[in-house]
């Protein structure tokens, strides 16, 4: 094993070049790769290997691609998160084609091409895409080997079982007993390109801007500063009405305000924010789309009914008290389709959280924050959702804002103590736990569990329950140490 200083030098070099963040748990994995590459090149030190990678030569270029192939995580699939592809083909494609007769689509971090081909099939199968329409589809990845694999479009049959049989029959040919290949006429419709998201030079379409960018489950590996730079590049690549798809666990909360959330029935994406659009309703009206020859939008006939039968919030509370949660969800979504209401946003978010759909819950909490950025409850709920999604840094940011807005509230400080304890920052954790104890001893009023908070009581824990947990630990150890072992939050 290489000395830790040498390994850290190598990791620092990789992070600068790729933007990917590597945790300590990956050090052993990276050390094995580093040792094998140095040995293969008959080199002796990490410094020599880095110097070799920095050379302007064909050999260095090949080595860099081999290294990238070794360290990147290539997790992909056909029509992964299929709701995203339905939204794209049935809502966004017709909206874009209302204004022009061509589409520009970019898939970044495409790995071995499954996402890019899924997008291609979604465009061609969209009932709103006509033979007279044009499109330009580009797919990029940092790995040259992955791009070459994608260009060939050849996949094992066992890995294509999720593709609908009709799509397979129409777009694939048999390649061998064990594999199938995308037909050449369709492979040629995608431009594949090696690209590093850390680069300042981003690809552009032959004409116009990109209408939609897919970059799913890539930014999750980047540090916050690198994420911001990439998002700024996306912002400049998209027109004012451009859309961005990220992975479900890649929230932009506390990272960027350049994009606003747009919700659909079973999924969401982001839309570019402009000065004239910032106050625009985040729930887009997709009722005025062009008529499709094959299908009609499922929501067209429902809009009039919703306006006529709009439920009131008190009715929704009655539904929740009667354990009619699915009916309550439907009613909340009806209300939110016409106007934004903070209690409704938070209540619906809590229902999704309670069913472990943390990403959807977080999106609703973020919308509530946009409506009123001075409401501490919204930040608390967002923090809990971020914590559930293992986005600890962003959770800390949310809880700090709640603590700032409400200087005598226990819950955000308790969670801050938990999070700092997990990070190994014991002094910070102790500070917040001490604040919890002092506030509770003062007997100050805490969060009033409004109707939209009641659904989260099991997850929030009341101040009294939190204090009891704290006291049990204090009585046993008399020190604020390793508190997370006692709290299953």
**pLDDT digits 0-9 by tens, 451-471:** 444 545 554 544 455 555 555
**pLDDT digits 0-9 by tens, 121-161:** 999 999 889 877 889 999 999 888 889 889 999 998 888 88
- What's the whole-number mean pLDDT along residues 230-238? 93
pLDDT at 480: 40
Q: Is the dihedral of CA 449, 454, 459, 465 positive or negative?
A: positive
Report d(CA 436, CA 432) in Å as an integer: 6
**pLDDT digits 0-9 by tens, 6-44:** 787 888 888 777 766 666 656 777 888 888 888 888 888
- Whether the per-residue pLDDT at 278 is higher than 80: the answer is no
C-alpha radius of gyration, the chain, whole number: 25
Instruction: Place 338 in a pLDDT band, splitting at 50, 70 and 90.
Output: confident
Instruction: Place 89 in a pLDDT band, splitting at 50, 70 and 90.
Output: very high
Among 95-104, 210-219, 247-256, 278-287, the minimum mean pLDDT is found in: 278-287
Tell me how far CA of residue 123 lies from CA of 63, 151, 154, 297, 310, in angstroms. Answer: 36, 19, 20, 16, 35
**Domains defined for the chain, CATH in brackets:** 4-71 (1.10.155), 82-272 (3.40.50.150), 340-485 (1.25.40.10)
pLDDT at 465: 52
Instruction: Place 248 in a pLDDT band, splitting at 50, 70 and 90.
Output: confident
Instruction: Place 301 in a pLDDT band, splitting at 50, 70 and 90.
Output: very low
- Whether the per-residue pLDDT at 300 is higher than 50: the answer is no
Residue 372: which of 414, 401, 410, 415 has the closest Cα?
Answer: 401
Among 140-149, 346-355, 366-375, 440-449, the minimum mean pLDDT is found in: 440-449
Report d(CA 292, CA 56) in Å as an integer: 53
Instruction: Place 286 in a pLDDT band, splitting at 50, 70 and 90.
Output: very low
Among 60-69, 89-98, 329-338, 436-445, the minimum mean pLDDT is found in: 436-445
- What's the whole-number mean pLDDT along residues 64-84? 76
Instruction: Place 220 in a pLDDT band, splitting at 50, 70 and 90.
Output: confident
- Whether the per-residue pLDDT at 328 is higher than 90: the answer is no
Contact 155, 125 (CB under 8 A): no
Q: How far is CA 63 from the centre of its chain?
A: 31
Under DSSP, the state recorded for 292 is P
- Whether the per-residue pLDDT at 383 is higher than 80: the answer is yes
DSSP 407-470: TT-HHHHHHHHHHHHHTT-HHHHHHHHHHHHHHHHHT-------HHHHTTHHHH--HHHHHHHH
Instruction: Place 167 in a pLDDT band, splitting at 50, 70 and 90.
Output: very high
Percentage of the chain beyond pLDDT 90 is 19
Instruction: Place 437 in a pLDDT band, splitting at 50, 70 and 90.
Output: confident
Longest dimension (CA), the chain: 76
H or E segment and range at residue 382: helix 376-388
Report d(CA 104, CA 205) in Å as an integer: 7
Report d(CA 126, CA 57) in Å as an integer: 45
Average pLDDT, the chain: 77
Phi first, then psi, for residue 188 (nearest 5°) are -70, -10
Among 349-353, 389-393, 475-479, the minimum mean pLDDT is found in: 475-479
- What's the whole-number mean pLDDT along residues 349-375? 83
Strand partners, 259: 272
């Amino acid at each position: 094993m290489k000395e830790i200083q040498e390994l850290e030098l190598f990791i620092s070099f990789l992070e600068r070049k790729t933007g990917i963040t590597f945790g300590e748990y990956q050090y052993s994995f990276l050390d094995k790769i580093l040792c094998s590459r140095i040995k293969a090149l008959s080199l002796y030190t990490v410094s020599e290997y880095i110097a070799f990678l920095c050379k302007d030569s064909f050999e260095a270029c090949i080595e860099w691609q081999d290294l990238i192939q070794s360290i990147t995580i290539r997790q992909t699939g056909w029509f992964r998160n299929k709701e995203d592809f339905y939204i794209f083909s049935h809502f966004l494609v017709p909206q874009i084609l209302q204004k022009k007769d061509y589409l520009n689509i970019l898939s970044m971090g495409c790995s071995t091409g499954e996402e890019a081909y899924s997008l291609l099939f979604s465009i061609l199968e969209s009932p709103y895409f006509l033979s007279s329409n044009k499109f330009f589809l580009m797919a990029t990845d940092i790995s040259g080997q992955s791009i070459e694999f994608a260009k060939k479009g050849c996949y094992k049959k066992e890995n294509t079982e999720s593709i609908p049989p009709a799509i397979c029959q129409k777009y694939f040919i048999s390649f061998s007993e064990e594999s199938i290949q995308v037909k050449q006429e369709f492979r040629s419709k995608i431009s594949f390109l090696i690209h590093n998201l850390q680069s300042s030079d981003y690809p552009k379409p032959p004409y116009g801007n990109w209408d939609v960018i897919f970059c799913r489950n890539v930014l999750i590996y980047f540090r916050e500063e690198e994420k911001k730079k990439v998002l700024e590049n996306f912002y400049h690549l998209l027109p004012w009405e451009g859309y961005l798809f990220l992975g479900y666990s890649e929230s932009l909360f506390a990272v960027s305000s350049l994009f606003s959330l747009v919700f659909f029935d079973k999924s969401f994406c982001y839309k570019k924010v402009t000065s004239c659009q910032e106050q625009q309703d985040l729930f887009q009206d997709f009722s005025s789309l062009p008529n499709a020859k094959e299908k009609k939008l499922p929501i067209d006939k429902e809009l009039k009914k919703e306006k006529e039968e709009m439920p009131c919030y008190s009715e929704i509370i009655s539904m929740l008290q009667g354990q009619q949660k699915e009916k309550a969800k439907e009613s909340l979504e009806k209300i939110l389709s016409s106007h934004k209401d903070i209690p409704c946003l938070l209540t619906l978010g809590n229902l999704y959280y309670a069913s472990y759909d943390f990403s959807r819950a977080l999106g609703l909490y973020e919308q509530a924050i946009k409506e009123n950025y001075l409401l501490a409850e919204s930040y608390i709920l967002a923090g809990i959702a971020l914590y559930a999604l293992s986005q600890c840094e962003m959770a800390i940011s949310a809880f700090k804002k709640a603590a700032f807005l409400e200087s005598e509230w226990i819950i955000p400080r308790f969670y801050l103590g938990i999070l700092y304890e997990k990070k190994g920052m014991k002094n910070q954790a102790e500070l917040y736990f001490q604040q919890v104890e002092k506030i509770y001893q003062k007997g100050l009023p805490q969060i009033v569990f409004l109707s939209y908070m009641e659904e989260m009581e099991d997850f929030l824990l009341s101040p009294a329950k939190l204090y009891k947990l704290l006291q049990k630990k204090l009585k046993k150890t008399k020190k604020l140490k390793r508190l997370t072992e006692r709290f299953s939050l």
